[in-house]
Amino acid sequence: MHTIISVKDKQFKPFISEASILKAVQNVANKINAEMSAKNPVFLVVLNGSFMFASDLLKNIAFPCQISFIKVASYHGTSSSGAVTELIGLTEDLTNKNIVIIEDIVDTGVTLEKLYNVLMKKNVAEIKVATALLKPKSYNKKYPIDFVGIEIENEFVIGYGLDYDGYGRNLKELYIIV
Protein backbone atom coordinates (compact mmCIF):
# COMPACT_ATOMS: atom_id res chain seq x y z
CA MET A 1 0.00 0.00 0.00
CA HIS A 2 1.31 3.44 -0.88
CA THR A 3 0.65 5.97 1.79
CA ILE A 4 1.04 9.51 0.58
CA ILE A 5 2.13 11.93 3.27
CA SER A 6 2.02 15.71 3.35
CA VAL A 7 4.99 17.66 4.59
CA LYS A 8 4.33 21.38 4.61
CA ASP A 9 3.24 22.27 1.05
CA LYS A 10 4.43 19.08 -0.66
CA GLN A 11 3.30 15.48 -0.96
CA PHE A 12 5.68 12.57 -0.66
CA LYS A 13 5.35 8.85 -1.36
CA PRO A 14 7.27 5.89 0.13
CA PHE A 15 10.57 5.28 -1.66
CA ILE A 16 12.79 2.90 0.34
CA SER A 17 11.49 0.77 3.21
CA GLU A 18 12.88 0.69 6.71
CA ALA A 19 13.94 -2.95 6.24
CA SER A 20 15.92 -2.12 3.08
CA ILE A 21 17.61 0.82 4.75
CA LEU A 22 18.58 -1.22 7.81
CA LYS A 23 19.96 -3.99 5.62
CA ALA A 24 22.11 -1.48 3.72
CA VAL A 25 23.30 0.08 6.97
CA GLN A 26 24.26 -3.35 8.32
CA ASN A 27 26.30 -3.94 5.14
CA VAL A 28 28.11 -0.65 5.68
CA ALA A 29 28.83 -1.62 9.30
CA ASN A 30 30.19 -5.00 8.20
CA LYS A 31 32.57 -3.34 5.75
CA ILE A 32 33.76 -0.81 8.32
CA ASN A 33 34.27 -3.59 10.89
CA ALA A 34 36.36 -5.53 8.38
CA GLU A 35 38.47 -2.58 7.23
CA MET A 36 38.79 -0.24 10.18
CA SER A 37 38.95 -2.30 13.37
CA ALA A 38 42.73 -2.07 13.67
CA LYS A 39 42.80 1.65 12.91
CA ASN A 40 41.27 3.09 16.07
CA PRO A 41 39.16 5.56 14.04
CA VAL A 42 37.30 8.66 15.08
CA PHE A 43 33.79 8.80 13.62
CA LEU A 44 32.75 12.34 12.74
CA VAL A 45 28.96 12.52 12.53
CA VAL A 46 27.89 15.44 10.36
CA LEU A 47 24.71 16.90 11.84
CA ASN A 48 21.84 17.35 11.45
CA GLY A 49 20.82 14.87 8.79
CA SER A 50 23.03 11.94 9.68
CA PHE A 51 21.85 11.44 13.26
CA MET A 52 19.61 8.47 12.41
CA PHE A 53 22.13 6.76 10.12
CA ALA A 54 24.87 7.33 12.69
CA SER A 55 22.77 5.76 15.42
CA ASP A 56 21.92 2.62 13.43
CA LEU A 57 25.42 2.32 12.02
CA LEU A 58 27.41 2.84 15.19
CA LYS A 59 25.32 0.33 17.17
CA ASN A 60 26.75 -2.25 14.79
CA ILE A 61 30.37 -1.18 14.99
CA ALA A 62 32.13 -3.97 16.85
CA PHE A 63 35.33 -2.27 18.02
CA PRO A 64 36.14 0.54 20.46
CA CYS A 65 35.93 3.92 18.77
CA GLN A 66 35.55 7.62 19.39
CA ILE A 67 32.48 9.46 18.09
CA SER A 68 32.18 13.20 17.67
CA PHE A 69 29.28 15.28 16.37
CA ILE A 70 29.97 18.27 14.15
CA LYS A 71 28.25 20.83 11.99
CA VAL A 72 29.69 22.41 8.89
CA ALA A 73 29.20 26.17 8.86
CA SER A 74 30.16 28.44 5.98
CA TYR A 75 30.24 32.20 6.21
CA HIS A 76 31.66 35.08 4.21
CA GLY A 77 34.38 37.04 5.95
CA THR A 78 34.77 40.77 5.64
CA SER A 79 37.73 40.45 3.27
CA SER A 80 37.59 39.21 -0.32
CA SER A 81 38.95 35.83 0.70
CA GLY A 82 35.64 34.13 -0.10
CA ALA A 83 33.66 31.71 2.02
CA VAL A 84 35.23 30.39 5.18
CA THR A 85 34.30 26.94 6.40
CA GLU A 86 34.26 26.15 10.07
CA LEU A 87 33.55 22.95 11.95
CA ILE A 88 31.31 23.54 14.95
CA GLY A 89 31.54 21.09 17.82
CA LEU A 90 34.91 19.56 17.16
CA THR A 91 36.85 19.37 20.41
CA GLU A 92 39.14 16.37 19.85
CA ASP A 93 42.69 16.68 18.60
CA LEU A 94 42.60 14.82 15.29
CA THR A 95 46.35 14.82 14.65
CA ASN A 96 47.39 11.48 13.11
CA LYS A 97 43.88 10.10 13.57
CA ASN A 98 42.03 7.91 11.09
CA ILE A 99 38.76 9.68 10.41
CA VAL A 100 35.49 8.21 9.19
CA ILE A 101 33.08 10.96 8.14
CA ILE A 102 29.44 9.92 8.59
CA GLU A 103 27.13 11.68 6.13
CA ASP A 104 23.41 11.32 5.48
CA ILE A 105 23.64 11.95 1.76
CA VAL A 106 26.30 12.92 -0.74
CA ASP A 107 24.81 14.84 -3.64
CA THR A 108 27.20 17.17 -5.53
CA GLY A 109 29.93 16.66 -2.96
CA VAL A 110 30.30 20.37 -2.18
CA THR A 111 29.73 19.78 1.54
CA LEU A 112 32.17 16.89 1.58
CA GLU A 113 34.81 18.97 -0.16
CA LYS A 114 34.50 21.68 2.49
CA LEU A 115 34.88 19.09 5.22
CA TYR A 116 37.90 17.58 3.54
CA ASN A 117 39.59 20.96 3.22
CA VAL A 118 39.17 21.72 6.91
CA LEU A 119 40.22 18.26 8.08
CA MET A 120 43.34 18.17 5.90
CA LYS A 121 44.62 21.23 7.77
CA LYS A 122 44.34 19.31 11.04
CA ASN A 123 47.03 16.81 10.03
CA VAL A 124 44.79 13.78 10.16
CA ALA A 125 46.28 10.44 9.06
CA GLU A 126 43.49 9.46 6.68
CA ILE A 127 39.91 10.33 5.83
CA LYS A 128 37.27 7.77 4.88
CA VAL A 129 33.66 8.57 4.08
CA ALA A 130 30.54 6.61 5.00
CA THR A 131 27.21 7.83 3.66
CA ALA A 132 23.71 6.42 3.93
CA LEU A 133 22.82 7.70 0.45
CA LEU A 134 24.80 8.68 -2.63
CA LYS A 135 23.60 10.34 -5.82
CA PRO A 136 26.32 9.06 -8.19
CA LYS A 137 24.98 11.00 -11.18
CA SER A 138 25.30 14.24 -9.27
CA TYR A 139 28.58 13.64 -7.43
CA ASN A 140 31.46 15.31 -9.26
CA LYS A 141 34.30 15.53 -6.74
CA LYS A 142 37.48 13.50 -6.60
CA TYR A 143 37.20 12.11 -3.07
CA PRO A 144 36.41 8.41 -2.83
CA ILE A 145 33.14 7.57 -1.08
CA ASP A 146 34.35 4.50 0.74
CA PHE A 147 31.21 3.11 2.36
CA VAL A 148 27.87 3.66 0.63
CA GLY A 149 24.51 2.47 1.94
CA ILE A 150 22.23 2.99 -1.08
CA GLU A 151 22.79 4.73 -4.42
CA ILE A 152 19.82 6.75 -5.65
CA GLU A 153 18.85 8.84 -8.68
CA ASN A 154 18.90 12.63 -8.58
CA GLU A 155 15.63 12.89 -6.71
CA PHE A 156 14.81 14.86 -3.57
CA VAL A 157 14.27 12.49 -0.67
CA ILE A 158 13.18 12.98 2.92
CA GLY A 159 13.09 10.77 5.98
CA TYR A 160 15.73 8.80 7.83
CA GLY A 161 17.23 12.05 9.10
CA LEU A 162 16.73 14.08 5.93
CA ASP A 163 14.36 17.03 6.00
CA TYR A 164 12.21 19.20 3.85
CA ASP A 165 12.35 22.67 5.36
CA GLY A 166 12.99 21.24 8.81
CA TYR A 167 10.33 18.50 8.70
CA GLY A 168 10.48 14.79 7.94
CA ARG A 169 13.70 13.87 9.71
CA ASN A 170 11.91 11.49 12.09
CA LEU A 171 10.43 9.28 9.35
CA LYS A 172 11.95 5.81 9.46
CA GLU A 173 11.47 5.19 5.75
CA LEU A 174 12.69 7.28 2.83
CA TYR A 175 10.12 9.25 0.82
CA ILE A 176 10.23 11.12 -2.50
CA ILE A 177 8.06 13.89 -3.90
CA VAL A 178 4.93 12.58 -5.64
Q: Which residues pair with 86 in a beta bridge?
A: 73
Q: Is residue 156 close enough to count as binding ligand 5GP by CB under 6 A? A: yes
CA dihedral 166→49→170→168, nearest 10 degrees, is 40
Q: Is residue 107 close enough to count as binding ligand 5GP by CB under 6 A? A: yes
Beta carbon nearer to ligand 5GP, 41 or 49: 49
CB of 53 to ligand 5GP, least distance (A): 11
CB of 155 to ligand 5GP, least distance (A): 7
- The HSE-up count of residue 132 (CA atoms within 13 Å, CB side) is 29
Q: Is residue 105 close enough to count as binding ligand 5GP by CB under 6 A? A: yes
CB of 144 to ligand 5GP, least distance (A): 14
Which residues have C-beta within 8 Å of that of residue 118, sequence separation ≥ 6? 72, 85, 86, 87
* Rounded Cα distance, 19 and 92, in Å: 35
Among 18, 35, 151, 163, binds ligand 5GP (CB under 6 A): 163
Catalytic status, residue 104: no
CB of 4 to ligand 5GP, least distance (A): 18
Beta carbon nearer to ligand 5GP, 94 or 150: 150
Please tell me which residue in 9, 93, 107, 146 is annotated as part of the active site.
107
Beta carbon nearer to ligand 5GP, 11 or 123: 11
- 5-7 and 10-16 strand pairing: antiparallel
* Rounded Cα distance, 53 and 24, in Å: 10
Whole-number Cα distances in Å, 18 to 22, 52, 56, 73, 175 = 6, 12, 11, 30, 11
Among 29, 61, 99, 106, binds ligand 5GP (CB under 6 A): 106
Among 119, 166, 157, 161, smallest CA distance to 138 is for 157
Q: Is residue 108 close enough to count as binding ligand 5GP by CB under 6 A? A: yes
Under the rule (CB under 6 A), what is the footprint of ligand 5GP? 49, 104-112, 156-158, 162-164
Q: Which residues are catalytic?
A: 107
